[in-house]
Amino acid sequence: MATEVTMDKIVSLCRRRGFVFPSSEIYGGLGSSYDYGHYGVLLKDNVKARWLEAMVRERDDILALDSSIILHPRVWEASGHVGGFTDPLVDCRTCKQRFRADHLADPEHTELHCGKRPSKRPGETPDCDLTEPRHFNLMFRTRVGAVEETGVDVYLRPETAQGIFINFKNVAQLARRKPPFGIAQVGKAFRNEITPGNFIFRTLEFEMMELEYFVPPSDAQQWYEYWVAERLAWHLRYGVREANLRVRPHEADELSHYSSGTSDIEYLYPIGWSELEGIANRGDFDLTQHTNESGTKLEWVDAGTGERFTPHVIEPSLGVNRSMLTFLIDAYDEEVVAERERTVLRLHPRLAPVTVAVLPLITKDAGMVAKAQALRDELRQHLSVEYDESGQIGRRYRRQDEIGTPWALTVDEQSLTDDTITVRDRDSLAQERISIARAREYLLERLGEPWAPPPRTT
């Protein structure tokens, strides 16, 4: 029987090994908020690094940006977030459609149709199961200015995308190229989510990795398809199992107000198939809105020929925390080895919080300890290394397995005479001997190899 990965097992591992803690725990906790411990920080950093590598470092057509979390409040009026996220809304639990409560109560609004039976108004069929009206204050509001009376209401950004659009002109000048080109940003976003969180799947505060890719309008569909394929390939490249991923294009009635086409890359979470990443064809909605609202023309102009157009935008948007959760779930495995159970995170070596553990076999042996510490000091200049001399070697291996460390180097008796060490492979458990002098080169070579997840054990 294959390992069943439940959210409880992931939550428990994350807590046990210090990846993620419930936030404000000593005060009873705060719903949908989490704090990241040592290994959580390292894993999250690696997810961001791999994304930035694929989006910026490995390409010539994408530039990086880091915009403010608090933007001018008119940004959110232009983007549609102020109007779109503060209305009293009613959800239908059956057809999953959402309606403005004031429109439902107003017979003049004849455009409202039941999601299952369009000839009826929402609430008119026995199957309609409407919630009470709720104010969806999706954006967190705060005030700038020390004096309450003269302060200005501002918002914590619910996405990083708008910071990119309002900087289009600045970056386009720097890019010195005609679209297609993109702007990538990684940063915090905040949403006053009211639906249950499922651990770090949906939280009040999270990090996003967003690309806004600006293209000539006539090429938008082609680039949209390109980015759906490209983003799917990224998840596969870092080891998410193909069988657990699918692309789901949105139905016309699911599309956001700005989108003329959206596909979700979905993952088979323990809670069922759900959105991992969204790729949207946003058309010229955002640049046009900000042009109209700010009076600054956000368009591409060829200084030589005078050719000008408002680019269309393709947007792949992925939550760092949701991506991290996905990697954790996909990597989780349990197996019995030599009649003992072990839990192992089969993370891609370039995602694993610790790349290599360095362990003296006998921790009371000064010679082994000194050699192991010297090896640690050398390797830590290049790699994420953890040195561990606490407890029996078997226990230390299991601890590394649980945090997903792909290799463990052990200094033993033989090391003292011939300067060799053993390398233990997390997944196969194979051990080989290499010379200490070659350790760094060996690890860098292994890190550069293509990697695929081994099948889950039985």
Give the nearest distance from C-beta 260 to ligand GAP in angstroms.
14
* Closer residue to ligand GAP in complex, CB, 211/359: 211
Give the nearest distance from C-beta 32 to ligand GAP in angstroms.
8
The CA radius of gyration of the chain, in Å to the nearest whole number, is 26
Counting contacts by CB under 6 A, is residue 140 touching ligand GAP? no
Stretch that binds ligand GAP, among 33-41, 244-252, 310-318, 403-411 (CB under 6 A): 310-318
Counting contacts by CB under 6 A, is residue 278 touching ligand GAP? yes
Q: How far apart are CA 272 and CA 259, in angstroms?
A: 25
Counting contacts by CB under 6 A, is residue 206 touching ligand GAP? yes
Show the tokens assigned to 445: 């070579």
In angstroms, what CA-CA distances link 28 with 16, 31, 36, 130, 345? 19, 10, 17, 32, 30
User: According to CB under 6 A, which one of 193, 365, 389, 427 is a site residue for ligand GAP?
Assistant: 193
Stretch that binds ligand GAP, among 12-20, 178-186, 223-231, 271-279 (CB under 6 A): 271-279
Show the tokens assigned to 161: 């995308």
By CB under 6 A, the count of residues binding ligand GAP is 18
Residue pair 378/405 in contact (Cβ under 8 Å)? The answer is no
| Position 189, amino acid | A
In 3D, which of 394, 351, 444 has the Cα closest to residue 410?
A: 394
Sign of CA dihedral 34, 37, 43, 44: positive
Show the tokens assigned to 187: 């940063």
Counting contacts by CB under 6 A, is residue 191 touching ligand GAP? yes
In angstroms, what CA-CA distances link 87 with 82, 139, 199, 432? 9, 12, 27, 63
User: According to CB under 6 A, which one of 263, 281, 310, 317 is a site residue for ligand GAP?
Assistant: 317
Counting contacts by CB under 6 A, is residue 318 touching ligand GAP? yes
Residue in this structure with the two tokens 């009211």, named with its chain if needed: 194
Residue pair 347/402 in contact (Cβ under 8 Å)? The answer is no
* Closer residue to ligand GAP in complex, CB, 231/376: 231
* Closer residue to ligand GAP in complex, CB, 205/389: 205
Upper half-sphere CA count for residue 129 (Cβ side, 13 Å): 5
User: According to CB under 6 A, which one of 266, 277, 386, 412 is a site residue for ligand GAP?
Assistant: 277
Stretch 319-378 residues interacting with ligand GAP (CB under 6 A) = 319, 321-322
User: According to CB under 6 A, which one of 46, 97, 203, 281 is a site residue for ligand GAP?
Assistant: 203
Ramachandran bin of 182, using left for φ above 0, alpha for ψ from -120 to 50, beta for the remaining angles: beta
* Closer residue to ligand GAP in complex, CB, 185/410: 185
Show the tokens assigned to 57: 């470092």
User: According to CB under 6 A, which one of 34, 42, 104, 159 is a site residue for ligand GAP?
Assistant: 159
User: According to CB under 6 A, which one of 104, 161, 166, 186 is a site residue for ligand GAP?
Assistant: 161
Return the residue nearest ligand GAP (CB atom): 319
Give the nearest distance from C-beta 262 to ligand GAP in angstroms.
8
Counting contacts by CB under 6 A, is residue 231 touching ligand GAP? no
| Position 170, amino acid | N
Q: How many residues does the chain have?
A: 458
Beta bridge pairs of residue 421: 434
Q: Which residues bind ligand GAP (CB under 6 A)?
A: 159, 161, 191, 193, 202-203, 206, 208, 210, 275, 277-278, 315, 317-319, 321-322
